[in-house]
Chains A and B, each alone.
Chain A
């Protein structure tokens, strides 16, 4: 599954990132390594693309509580692998 390792790293590092006052920032993670945090997602994305062009990496907003994104149109489902 895509990004499974990176998501596991995020969940592992989340308490420490929150303790460092980084809530709301965007963390860049490659496999089990936290590369850094940035104020906006596009900055983290650009650094990920520069370091790992064409490779998977995770950019995730550091949040104590995840906020779901709404899609109100009916009949929309995620694609399955």
Chain B
């Protein structure tokens, strides 16, 4: 199985990812003769405490994403229960010589995450079927897919 093993940064599992509009939208735009935005490369942090991926507003704006649905999100100190967050679908790629990790459409919410130091928090939904190993004592993590 393809895998990456990297050093933890301040105890966090960070890695480079490529973000793009979802695959079906890229195809539809090309078929319609419309241009699609340039994919982005960003540093992401794996967040095993989240089911859904969080993206910074800058990612939403640079990819020109439109919300596709609304979902209630529960956070420790977040908005009151019942508030609906905009949910986007985008594609995610982690490049690897042994074979890229690629998801054509993952769900993400736009959230204020600047304080985390990254623009993408990868939730468990995006990493389903992966094996994530976190070795704090050894200061490394690995992700297998």
Partners in one complex: yes
Give A contacts to B, CB under 8 Å: 2-3, 7, 41-42, 45-46, 48-50, 53-61, 66-79
B54 proximal to A (CB < 8 A) = yes
Minimum CB–CB distance from B65 to chain A (whole Å) comes to 11
Contact of A78 among B25, B73, B105 (CB under 8 A): B73
B71, A69: Cβ atoms under 8 Å? Answer: yes
B118 to chain A, nearest CB (A): 12
Q: Is B138 an interface residue (CB 8 A)?
A: no
- A55 cross-chain contacts in B, Cβ below 8 A: 66
Are B74 and A42 in contact (CB-based, < 8 A)?
no
Is B11 part of the binding interface, using a Cβ–Cβ cutoff of 8 Å?
Answer: no
When the two chains form their complex, are residues A77 and B66 in contact, meaning their CB atoms are under 8 A apart? no
B105–A76 CB distance below 8 A: no
Q: B117 on the interface (CB 8 Å rule)?
A: no
Shortest distance between the CB of B128 and any CB in chain A (Å):
14
- CB pairs A–B below 8 angstroms (13 shown): A3-B70, A41-B105, A50-B24, A53-B34, A54-B29, A55-B66, A70-B73, A70-B75, A71-B75, A73-B76, A77-B75, A78-B85, A79-B57
